[in-house]
Amino acid sequence: MKVVLIEQDQEHRRVIQYMLESRKETVYAFPDAAKAWAFIEATPNIDVILTSLSTDGMSGLEVCWNARILADQRKGLYVIAMSENDDAELLVEALDTGADDFLQKPLHAETLHARMRVAERMILLQRQLVHLATRDPMTNLFNRRAFFEQVQNKITLSDSDEIFCAIVFDIDHFKKVNDTYGHDVGDEVIKTVATLAAAYKGVLARLGGEEFVLVTQGLSILQASRLADKLRQDIAETAIELNQSSVCVTSSFGVAVYRPGESIDDLLKRADLALYKSKNDGRNRVSAERPRMMQAC
């Protein structure tokens, strides 16, 4: 695990770091809480924060509070507070502020190692729960709710002139596949299409049934349409092997570009309209929305 250690006492910091590294943890040790917090914000995949409550500048309680807010975004962040004071009120305050556990200094190696094992189990459990809550169980792609969150976060954090395009696509005549070959084969078709689409860069999700969406960043609508056409070809040219035969399917695509200030749902509705055009024009093709006409002054 990646552990950030915040301890202003040099000797305590050295000893605790040695204890952690004996467990093969990756340790980032800081005497200053503010510098440690700047590192935490800039560094993804931090698993554990082990912080003294007695720190210079930013207090250990502030670290616990900020970490709890950050954990809502990153998931699986475990916070352990440390203090030489065994006051029950301090323990309660630390836990209420956001710490997951509390250790009294000086630390003993066996106790610290046991608490780290608890942290490891809790982090694993939380990440498993997050995975179940955000992923489609059949394809392992983002589900609809997680997709909306992921795309909105990307738009919020991007420059105002960044281009996002939504590529909505579904499998042509999918009901016929299920009726002819059975739902087991239909499931394999969905999994295969998901695997092919996952090779392309962007936020990919299964919206439900046989419908998918891929949101690209930094591509013009023309470039996104070309990407969609390449994926269309990949799907059409991939044979899904059965016991005695194989089945091929095609997909239809609709592409729309994000308009600043609109909702993700509005973006998908316009991509859906382009998808309907592909369906009406014969399927197995890509249609892009028409650009908005300039309004007369």
Catalytic positions are 210
Residue 15 Cα to chain centre, angstroms: 35
Task: Give the integer Cα–Cα distance in Å for 144 and 68.
Answer: 26
Q: How many CB atoms lie within 10 A of CB 207?
A: 19
- For 234, the token pair is 């990949």
Residue among 145, 250, 236, 141 at smallest CA distance from 198: 141
- For 256, the token pair is 């729309």
Q: Do residues 206 and 136 make contact, with C-beta atoms less than 8 angstroms apart?
A: yes
Q: Do residues 149 and 133 make contact, with C-beta atoms less than 8 angstroms apart?
A: no
What torsion, rounded to 10 degrees, do the Cα atoms 283, 284, 286, 287 define?
-10
Q: Any idea what the Cα angle at residue 124 is, between residues 123 and 125, rounded to 5°? A: 90
